[in-house]
Structure 1
């Protein structure tokens, strides 16, 4: 028998981060010191419409991704709304994706390889939108907007006080692929350059003439937890897997080391990305 669900999609009595976000927003607004705020007043302070605040407080539609930090700032809630928002985003994915995102949020190191696309952690909004519209041409505007918001929310893993060390290796073909307009791809390449300039991020490009390897056919992410255990996340069409068996993990780590050895250096990779940007202008 299917378990009964409430209006926000959760089982009665179960922790529902979307409902928790709504209740905390309404409570913080009504208990605001020195005086209660109306929805209109709060909307003006966070630069959104009153209807947006109303929808947030009644669990209708997605939460704007730039709203949680503004609420934390106004109500001095020490990251409460940001944490709840991350839970909301994570709960919107199937269980394996939720598990993967939980691993990302807690990671001390992330090693990522992609043979075809810029991975989600580094995607711009326009790039993500083109990707989704290409894969789901019948999707409506709301579905597309929700996907882009979810995708951008994952970047929170890189923006905390103690971000993980990240190594990203991309096949050179990722720079050449033209599924989006040149200006969109140009901004995406600029975002990659900006990411690579961070002290905790290294971006490398694997040349087209590099030797074949175990990961040639699919994207792979190796996520190191605070206790130094490593999970290997593999994605394919509508499927995902998380591998933790020691033998497979060791093989994956060795393969990733080979990839970084065959890839261009971070400096050479940045130069190649910049050259490709110039070709798009």
Structure 2
């Protein structure tokens, strides 16, 4: 059924594409046309919400795309369209990284400064976005937070990627907000660490010097086993595809994991830090 949708030449942005696809699905549903009120009841939302989405007006609640796919039997169409909507909320320099992340089978993260976006709580993300966007409205900040949380859904699917994260000890020590916010963030990190597809390690302050000391990087491995390196700096990101560069980064990352505490030792350290807050 998915093939019936996807040609929306009149739509100028992903929100409009999503809205047109929803209206198309609603009006051509195999089991019978649905009114906006009918769809609202099935999706447990309001008619005004359906109307707003079909007109391309934000936001789209993160739970709705999966419900629309279930109602219309569209095999993940609305989930994929929503991912495009979310990616557009990021600056252009980050969009390709988001696309590569969604397709990756293995994600390796190193961060010497903050919790990676895939593990951030809403409050932690809000604090970061507010500090880096002081002139943004509350609505704009809320939109950035929603996009960040939607991005994390790739960890919750039926076939999530393997995710390996190494954090500098300073990340868990540095209090970014209230003690309650930091306890929640550390608790969420611990929870991720219990997942069979996720490994969390902390690099202690007294670790040996390493090649990745300059800043955070991500190593994204695709289904064809090729790996690219994503390097982030202030308000920008670059993708390095050179195979030799990727191999060097992988060796450096392996060295980092060997210097880091084990997953069990890391969890103990994180719990101890929670108790000090």
Same fold, judged at TM 0.5 (above): yes
Aligned partner of 1:159 among 156, 164, 170: 156
Aligned to 1:113: 110
Aligned to 2:186: 189
List aligned pairs for 1:84-233, cutoff 5 A.
84-233=81-230
Aligned to 2:235: 238
Q: Distance in 2 between matches of 1:183 and 1:168?
A: 23
Q: Distance in 2 between matches of 1:66 and 1:141?
A: 22
Contact 1:112–1:220 (8 Å) recurs in 2: yes
TM-score when scaled to structure 1? 0.89
Contact 2:199–2:263 (8 Å) recurs in 1: yes
Shift of 1:95: 3.4
Shift of 1:239: 1.4
List aligned pairs for 1:266-281, cutoff 5 A.
266-280=263-277
Unmatched segments (≥5 aa) in structure 1: 1-10
Aligned to 1:5: none
SS in 1 for 2:180: helix
Residue 22 (structure 2) pairs with residue 18 (structure 1): no
Unmatched segments (≥5 aa) in structure 2: 1-7
Contact 2:217–2:231 (8 Å) recurs in 1: yes
Shift of 1:33: 6.0
SS in 2 for 1:71: helix
| 249-258 vs 21-30, greater mean Cα deviation | 21-30
Shift of 1:77: 2.1
Q: Distance in 2 between matches of 1:27 and 1:67?
A: 16
Aligned partner of 1:58 among 55, 59, 77: 55
Shift of 1:204: 0.3
Q: Distance in 2 between matches of 1:135 and 1:189?
A: 22
Q: Distance in 1 between matches of 2:137 and 2:16?
A: 24
1:101-153 Cα shifts (integer Å, max 9, x gaps): 11111111111000011101111111111111121122112111110111112
SS in 2 for 1:113: strand
Contact 2:69–2:79 (8 Å) recurs in 1: yes
The number of aligned residues is: 270
SS in 2 for 1:234: strand
Contact 1:169–1:205 (8 Å) recurs in 2: yes
Q: Distance in 2 between matches of 1:95 and 1:131?
A: 19
Q: Distance in 1 between matches of 2:67 and 2:176?
A: 34
TM-score when scaled to structure 2? 0.90
SS in 2 for 1:51: helix
Q: Distance in 1 between matches of 2:39 and 2:48?
A: 11
Contact 2:11–2:17 (8 Å) recurs in 1: no
Contact 1:96–1:242 (8 Å) recurs in 2: no
Q: Distance in 2 between matches of 1:199 and 1:252?
A: 24
CA RMSD between the two structures: 2.0
1:3-48 Cα shifts (integer Å, max 9, x gaps): xxxxxxxx96677432221012122233446554333343343333
Aligned to 1:8: none
